[in-house]
Structure 1
């Protein structure tokens, strides 16, 4: 016999990815077993929950709880390290100003079906390389952005005739000459999945129906396009 606490046997305690063999006795209380687990797991006794079929009660004995040699008992609880992390995070959260969520831009158009089908074609052959994270001047490319798609999915070139204050949109068959004074705004958004390229929107007329859309415009020129047109 093993004295008043009865026979000794070994159970396995599992916690997250760890497992420990723990020696217990028949009549040992669950609370006493938790005290053996605490130094191994880092989980203080008061934070431990032991599960075997159901939650084990501190004042019950091992035998009364159904424990036998080789059985696996699950430990649920928060270790001291995790508790400190949580406390630290809550302190940080309490002193960090919460930033309002940025409202969605009225654009984010490029995911709309009519735009997506053109964007899914990929950059047209001969398109200028797109670069993220820098801005460049149209003058560097002679004020001509070649090989972009229009909203019909046809390849056009955009020629900025600064001396005439005109934008020439040149397609295969004809060139459309647009006075920059007719363009009331210029917006653009990066194309998701096509790094370095943007969808450029020229707001002409009073409704969105008359907007002109261009796809695979190199992102680095968009700010300058806006400046040139609206100047």
Structure 2
């Protein structure tokens, strides 16, 4: 009996173990869908994480410009005024030429497209003459707005510059004012007339020269384009006056020589109509500090006397 009970007990135990395994298998099967869902979510999350850098890469590539556009932008930024080019291009090709001032030569290098006004500003420190007081002579008086290229300036060209330094201007301030000149004329008239003074009377007694220019009384005219000729000096020699305003000079020509006198070196001008020949005047240019330095000229056509004074003194009376 005991042998049958033991075998029955063993069979029951095996059945219970088999049933337990089946239950564990079912439990495992039931829980596997949840694990599968979690794995699927994990894979989706992983795919999303992988896609995120891709979107970042795409967003970083959106503002990037094509090489052609970048090159155009670089070209545009390198040019100060768009298509205007660099400053050196605007100045034009560099030209080497000489500037002559007061018998001195200066080697200058300047742009062909630069203006005369810009050249004056450059020369101010070179020759010591303020730009506003310079006159640049290139085939005549050159205007400030004209370029060197337009004026035909090339390599090796020579440019003449005339003008007065600040020291010359300050020296001019020592000249008499218009009021002082009038007072001097009144004083002179109070004395014996110039025509009656012995040194002048001796010259005037010979009468007007045959080739003297016609004189007009009580008329004022501008300086003629030609020299004023036919006059005489205190020795009776023929004299002609040529005004070189572009050089700020007056040339006193005689048979022996021609004196080139800077206008700003003449201290004063004295004149008086000739008695009995009021269509003519006698005129003196004071070349030094005293009356002894006066250069007398006789039979000056009266219509040009005021123009002569204005050319010599008028431009300086403002200082």
- TM-score (normalizing by structure 1): 0.53
- How far 1:137 sits from its partner (Å)? 0.6
- How far 1:104 sits from its partner (Å)? 5.2
Within the alignment, does 1:114 sit opposite 2:210 as a pair?
no
1:196 to 249, 271, 279: 279
Q: 1:188·1:199 contact (CA, 8 Å) conserved in 2?
A: yes
Within the alignment, does 1:216 sit opposite 2:299 as a pair?
yes
Q: Which has the larger radius of gyration?
A: 2
Secondary structure of the corresponding residue to residue 252 of structure 2: strand
Which residue is 2:55 aligned to?
none
Q: Cα 1:177–1:103, aligned 2, differ >3 Å: closer, same or farther?
A: closer
- How far 1:195 sits from its partner (Å)? 2.8
Q: Cα 1:186–1:149, aligned 2, differ >3 Å: closer, same or farther?
A: same
Gaps of 5+ in 1: 1-101
- How far 1:108 sits from its partner (Å)? 2.5
- How far 1:107 sits from its partner (Å)? 7.5
Q: RCO (CA 8 Å, sep 6+): is it higher in 1 or 2?
A: 1
Matches within 5 A, 1:74-223: 105=189, 108-138=193-223, 141-223=224-306
Q: 1:107·1:189 contact (CA, 8 Å) conserved in 2?
A: no
Which residue is 2:65 aligned to?
none
Secondary structure of the corresponding residue to residue 195 of structure 1: strand
Q: Cα 1:208–1:104, aligned 2, differ >3 Å: closer, same or farther?
A: closer
Distance in 1 between residues matched to 2:211 and 2:187, nearest whole Å: 36
Secondary structure of the corresponding residue to residue 267 of structure 2: strand
Greater per-residue strand proportion = 1
- TM-score (normalizing by structure 2): 0.38
Q: How many residues align?
A: 128
Q: Cα 1:183–1:107, aligned 2, differ >3 Å: closer, same or farther?
A: farther
- Give per-residue Cα distances to partners, 1:179-208, cap 9 Å, x unaligned: 111111112100001130000111221111
State the superposition RMSD in angstroms. Answer: 1.6
Q: 1:143·1:161 contact (CA, 8 Å) conserved in 2?
A: no
Gaps of 5+ in 2: 1-185
Distance in 2 between residues matched to 1:172 and 1:225, nearest whole Å: 22
Which residue is 1:54 aligned to?
none
Matches within 5 A, 1:67-78: none
Distance in 1 between residues matched to 2:192 and 2:226, nearest whole Å: 26
Aligned structure 1 segments of 4 or more residues deviating by more than 4 angstroms: none
